A and B are shown apart, each in its own frame.
Chain A
């Protein structure tokens, strides 16, 4: 009789814990992207990638077929204070197991600080400021986005290939701009010997009048400009610089993913010549089966074949959590941290591995010049070169 009871309990436990042996309760992810304001163009794009990954996983019954993902999303409005408050609320009120997202270095650092204090894992899918995984690294923060050193190396390598020696620099005056400038300075001697920055300009984030800076660059006689003006700022800068004949005289090499389709499709014929930049994912490049499947599903959701480049970041973030839960066989924070350290997964844009010590993924970017084509009304990157994050 006792034996039957023991067997019954064991069966119940197996049913309760599932086949893999970890809890069947859903894992709650607190997602923080700007879905209103000037960052909304990327925030909504990132939300799309996040939802796509979560729906794919949940359609299979959840992670490992049994742990569904529940998303609790909050709008950061691209403001560190709003992001910090939302992160805290997600932890204390919603009881999320993991924080994910962030857009802009300042927002990322703010979320990371909350994660450190509250001892909750934070997957930084977009912020790139190097400090997050160096001087401000803590056990709970992991970055699946590239960092400013990786991006700076991409800029320096492109400058080296173009052979520009006299450079001007224009960066935003906040953490991302400062860190990217440091990343470029670090990489220039190795990647572009003899190149020198002769004019270094810092622009207030949110500035809308670039005429003074444009005239300064034109007056300095630089062959190339290195920059990180991203999103709508680049569109405004380019619009104001074009009548000066800026892009006819100067090679513009920029981070900030201004080669992404979000920018190219918005600017269409107004996209200037002589721009070399980066992107996370290009709908027209790399037809691996995994990328093809990802891109087709994204195209279905966006209702057009030319899909955006930013959803991949949040998509990969969710995929890392999925892999970590499978590896840890648990949703416990410490078990997930151990699983994330050194974790390697296959993504639609190649294999990604999180370094066990720095918590930084080896995420590289696609780099190249933006060219006109007869087929499209927008520019595409051609040729495309992948600069690895290793």
Chain B
């Protein structure tokens, strides 16, 4: 099987497309954890909502890109309301309270999806212009999946530039290091927190919308993705952007080639990978050793 160039070529691109889609979603999770120190279990539910919002917009307006934009904006608005109205009351409390809160959100948002969209399975068509295959010499490959392969590094670069080269990015990094000092310097830390939560949730929503054409939409589609996102950020290092990028790529490769080469062990492989990283380097590839 591995000696077949068409097979290798198609599966490698599949792995990259899956990995890059995962990265866009997981980047939001790692951003929220990096600054807010909140483990957001509801990140998968944000992803699911993004996919459903995109579906509704595509059904109404017939434009996929409008759906992606709408999903990002809808999740940003929802995250703003959640952070301002509820989450910020829990920052001073035990981390367990935050964990329980985000877990509660998973249940509420899951039921909201069933209430609004029902339990039927939906699908979103590939966007016009990217619905055909591109001839790459060895084989034809779907243009949309190729687009995802390219979009991942672009998003990574934009986020990195935003964090490293802008004033807002510097403030975010400072908030990660010492929020009290930042407040003493006159920075509105609660606003920074809201901003980070909003950006993180918007990334999940956009990731959900981008995933919609390559998946089917069903209630419960959040369960797998949140596990995969946690594996990505654990492998890469909690709070590390490039760590998430690498983690997503590795998970994409393991998932795709695992499903093909050892289908019976596909699920076990991803957990084994996480376990191995935790044993060898508990803080992940790009994470920093605590204490």
Residue positions of A touching B, CB distance < 8 A: 36-38, 40-41, 201-202, 206, 208-209, 211-212, 215-216, 218-221, 232, 235-236, 239-240, 242-245, 270
Q: Mark B211-248, 1 if CB is under 8 A from A, else 0.
A: 00111111001000000000000000000000000000
| B126 touching A243, Cβ below 8 Å | yes
Q: Mark B1-39, 1 if CB is under 8 A from A, else 0.
A: 100101100110010011000000000000000000000
Residue in A219, A221, A235, A242 whose beta carbon sits within 8 Å of that of B10 in the complex:
A219
Q: Mark B190-224, 1 if CB is under 8 A from A, else 0.
A: 00000000000000000000000111111001000
Assess A211 versus B214: contact at CB under 8 Å? Given A219-B10, A243-B131: yes
Residue in B123, B142, B256 whose beta carbon sits within 8 Å of that of A236 in the complex:
B123
Interface contacts (Cβ under 8 Å), in number, total 84
| B7 touching A244, Cβ below 8 Å | no
Assess A245 versus B119: contact at CB under 8 Å? Given A38-B218, A206-B218, A215-B7: no
For A206, the chain B residues whose CB sits under 8 A away are: 218
A201-B263, A215-B10, A242-B131 given; name 19 further pairs at CB < 8 Å.
A38-B119, A38-B121, A41-B120, A211-B145, A212-B256, A215-B7, A219-B4, A219-B10, A219-B11, A232-B216, A235-B123, A236-B123, A239-B123, A239-B126, A240-B214, A243-B126, A243-B144, A244-B133, A245-B133
Q: CA A270 – CA B213 in complex, angstroms?
A: 14
| A239 touching B256, Cβ below 8 Å | no
| A243 touching B132, Cβ below 8 Å | yes
For A220, the chain B residues whose CB sits under 8 A away are: 4, 7
**B125 in the interface (beta carbon within 8 A):** yes
Q: Which of B37-72 contact A (CB under 8 A)?
A: none
**B81 in the interface (beta carbon within 8 A):** no
**B143 in the interface (beta carbon within 8 A):** yes
Residue in B14, B214, B217 whose beta carbon sits within 8 Å of that of A215 in the complex:
B14
For B145, the chain A residues whose CB sits under 8 A away are: 211, 243
For A36, the chain B residues whose CB sits under 8 A away are: 119
Q: CA A220 – CA B131 in complex, angstroms?
A: 23
Interchain Cβ contacts under 8 Å between A and B, 28 examples: A38-B120, A38-B121, A41-B120, A208-B215, A208-B216, A208-B221, A209-B214, A211-B14, A212-B11, A212-B260, A216-B11, A216-B260, A218-B6, A219-B1, A220-B4, A221-B6, A232-B121, A232-B216, A235-B121, A236-B121, A236-B216, A239-B125, A240-B214, A243-B126, A243-B131, A243-B142, A244-B10, A270-B125
**B141 in the interface (beta carbon within 8 A):** yes
Residue in B6, B120, B221 whose beta carbon sits within 8 Å of that of A219 in the complex:
B6
Q: CA A38 – CA B123 in complex, angstroms?
A: 13
A40 nearest in chain B by CB position: B120
Q: What's the minimum C-beta distance from A141 to chain B, rounded to whole angstroms? A: 29
